[in-house]
Structure 1
């Protein structure tokens, strides 16, 4: 059993220290803080002082020290030490316990420069630390449990929403969100920050659950609080979002979720008075909004359905072991996972202009298809990373070639970085996250080296991974503090240290440096 004493004290200690003497990271990260690395890129040191970090983990610090010893390139070493702990250093806004159960750990994780907790982002922000998570007794394990528990609460209260306010136990006031929205189902603004229904939120919750269980074997945790109820909420919403626009008699079926907002962007609301575009039955679940928070062109997001299918199936093994789980829960999880996979095979695999079979990014079940990829994860590029398929799968390899080139309308090419971008920013703004994912889904040494070099030269000297970077001008970027992308880079280095350690001995400088 774990002790909750330190957990109860943690929010008090963090609030006292950070409130009195520590700079806000939004301003701190906009400065190229010394000491600079000694390589050509002269990258800033962007870690707060230990007393100013929002969470300290000896497991993570030991991993950083060990991996840095294996990295030859001084700039790559600096970028790794800045990025891998970035979520822990900056984004664990509050930790505590539930008001009605002091054994139920909670952790509120902000996305970075926005003081709200996204289900998808928080799952991906914590996921990199599974590499050093070995058992259930560490404070790091407590953090995983706290995030899972709070996500479960949110998914029970408002399963169609994507970003949430601090829990009442934190004592933090709700963050103001100035948008004007008309959304069904209705939600509590004291609980919800934004209510874009994004199917990958369900995948993110299940992914983090899978990661914790795979690392610790701690199945008992999932039976103690609200996890099973959250899975039931996920399944109910998924089933509602699998329904077509028209019934068997042709009658319009009112959708479970609608969204309208006053916005300056066409991607900030849904068409047809908030209903979205019509869909046919495919077995997949609708995702009116993408992982980028932009509205979809067609509602069946293939990568989001890939993610949900994969993690419904894998976390059914957890439900199998819960003595008090609702009857048939694990079987239902596996059935829905299989039906979604069948729907992807039938509707999500289409013919590209060159005649090859590829995965579409989005479809509608009527024949509509969107051939592209978006940098945000889940993406088509990330399908092997999600564990949905093997990277040597023929359709995946066809898709990979399609999206990593000019055929993809959101492929950004230039002298500094070549990567998939996103409609969330603009054409020509490459997302380093995509270059990182390219390296993580490749076995080709030169492709990996090229992708890592491009990310390394994209930070503009700040030593942090930006949201997007102009592929022709690395001083033109968006978001200096984006913890998800930073953690993903650290996760990539940990992955390379495990499966391709020889690559960490390479020089990633922009010119040849002779090794000693």
Structure 2
């Protein structure tokens, strides 16, 4: 098996050891630091000094230099310089090996200002660097590849520990004390969980899909089959499959009796989105749909109707891709026979179910009707026609391995999502126009949705206008916030949101490859 050598591991550990003099980035990210960019927004420099970064990579530094040189606008260049490396600079909280096996790498990645590891966030944080992993000549032996392997291994451990949970504590090997989540103190969750291992236990289908996505990303870049044959990856895949299959359980049985749900959740809260209706069961879902329930959205808000369409899209897309890894392992006699076929069949069934239940008719602009994807459905005919900024979203469907951006049904859905009368959570104003969501509330647009809008667009004007919104609304800090008030860009949430920063960098690299002329524009 290919593994990180002791010398490389010691180097990584040295890179991730922070100096006693390093500032707390939660505070650091709220302040402006020189040198400022030379554009009219005079954006702050927000990178920690090299000795204070949680991971150093010469490949990342050369990429930042090369891409920045191709960006004409000084504020856009500064925003890229700050945002793209943010996960590596600030969020690799610990990287080491398992106590039971020194060959098993582990990577604990925090979201930013929350000291816990989300399956979804950590996957997306590393996905920002996937092009570099693929481009590295010796990618499977590189320190960056080691981060990927460590995250996959730790996510696998989490899934085997508590497969219905979404956010986890640092592993005991790290020596990091468990973080306290006061919001979870009153949780009544079935099945229960250990607070010393789990930070929060909101069941989200996209969390399961994220493990498959990260695995598929590493496999696509390295074809490192030995890695997937080792440790607990197959067992984690089986746990993912069993959990998703369990969550196809409907509310009512053949005789009309209420079936026991594999998962329930109740929290004492003043926010409706923080708990589930019907004493933790959630809203009823029909039987025989073929869709998988999700109690919570990727925003960590509860679903209204539990068949969350974009989460099912994501799960189907990456379940199919992970099946390719399993098939390769089966060919070497290192995976149970028939597992890849089961995964592909399940993915196909979900796709068919989305087409059958997730497509709805809505009033069109011309007074007629048109078909679009619903955000959530229940299988009884009820549908929630909206979109949320968090990924997976309907807007992000082409990025989920589910469909092409030119798909006519997607194009109609996209137009409705971004229209002022088609999506109750499309936020408009003089500062920024973007999808938001109930997590922060009306009037707050999410830059993450603006980034996804660019990644799914071929329209130069749409891309340029959206880029201008992003460059002009960082409040001079030069980082991507969670949300921004559409009328006052000095009102925002989360100064340190690593995933959104990395996604911005990922988007700039994508533009550099497919629309380099846009990076030559001025956004002053």
TM-score scaled by structure 1? 0.97
Q: Is the 8 A contact 2:16 2:92 kept in 1?
A: no
Q: How much does 1:249 deviate?
A: 1.9
Q: How much does 1:426 deviate?
A: 1.1
Question: What does 1:198-237 correspond to in 2, within 5 Å?
Answer: 198-237=204-243
Candidates 405, 408, 411, aligned match of 1:391: 405
Candidates 271, 280, 287, aligned match of 2:277: 271
Candidates 296, 300, 317, aligned match of 1:293: 300
Correspondence for 1:417: 432
Correspondence for 1:242: 248
Correspondence for 2:390: 376
Deviation by residue 1:265-310 (Cα, 9 ceiling, x = unmatched): 1110101111111101311110010000000100000000000000
Q: Secondary structure at the match of 1:352?
A: strand
Candidates 451, 476, 479, aligned match of 1:436: 451
Deviation by residue 1:218-268 (Cα, 9 ceiling, x = unmatched): 122111111111110000000010111111222211100000011121110
Q: Is the 8 A contact 1:128 1:488 kept in 2?
A: yes
* CA distance in 2 between partners of 1:351 and 1:345 (Å): 12
Question: What does 1:110-259 correspond to in 2, within 5 Å?
Answer: 110-133=110-133, 134=136, 135-178=139-182, 179=184, 180-259=186-265
**Deviating 4+ runs (over 4 angstroms):** none
Correspondence for 1:89: 89
1:42 correspondence with 2:42: yes
Correspondence for 2:334: 324
Correspondence for 2:474: 459
Deviation by residue 1:94-151 (Cα, 9 ceiling, x = unmatched): 0000111111100000000000000000000110101111320110000010001000
Q: How many residue pairs align between the two structures?
A: 508
Q: Is the 8 A contact 1:242 1:283 kept in 2?
A: yes
Q: Is the 8 A contact 1:10 1:96 kept in 2?
A: no
Q: Secondary structure at the match of 1:176?
A: coil
* CA distance in 1 between partners of 2:494 and 2:107 (Å): 24
Question: Alpha carbons of 1:154 and 1:7: their partners in 2 closer, same or farther (altered >3 Å)?
Answer: farther
Q: Secondary structure at the match of 1:472?
A: coil
Q: Secondary structure at the match of 1:375?
A: coil
Correspondence for 2:98: 98
* CA distance in 2 between partners of 1:11 and 1:131 (Å): 21
Question: Alpha carbons of 1:15 and 1:358: their partners in 2 closer, same or farther (altered >3 Å)?
Answer: closer
Correspondence for 1:405: 419
Deviation by residue 1:14-36 (Cα, 9 ceiling, x = unmatched): 57533x11001001101011110
* CA distance in 1 between partners of 2:463 and 2:453 (Å): 7
Q: How much does 1:70 deviate?
A: 0.8
Correspondence for 2:286: 280
Q: Is the 8 A contact 1:303 1:383 kept in 2?
A: yes
Q: Secondary structure at the match of 1:380?
A: coil
* CA distance in 1 between partners of 2:121 and 2:384 (Å): 25
Name whichever of 387-396 and 286-295 sits farther off.
387-396
Q: How much does 1:12 deviate?
A: 5.5
1:362 correspondence with 2:395: no
Name whichever of 78-87 and 218-227 sits farther off.
218-227
Q: How much does 1:5 deviate?
A: 1.4
Q: How much does 1:4 deviate?
A: 3.4
Q: How much does 1:2 deviate?
A: 3.6
Q: How much does 1:428 deviate?
A: 0.9
Q: How much does 1:389 deviate?
A: 0.5
Question: What does 1:331-342 correspond to in 2, within 5 Å?
Answer: 331-342=341-352
* CA distance in 1 between partners of 2:340 and 2:27 (Å): 47
Deviation by residue 1:397-441 (Cα, 9 ceiling, x = unmatched): 110111101220000011111100010001010000001100000
TM-score scaled by structure 2? 0.95
Correspondence for 1:305: 312
Q: How much does 1:371 deviate?
A: 0.4
Correspondence for 1:351: 361
* CA distance in 1 between partners of 2:481 and 2:48 (Å): 18
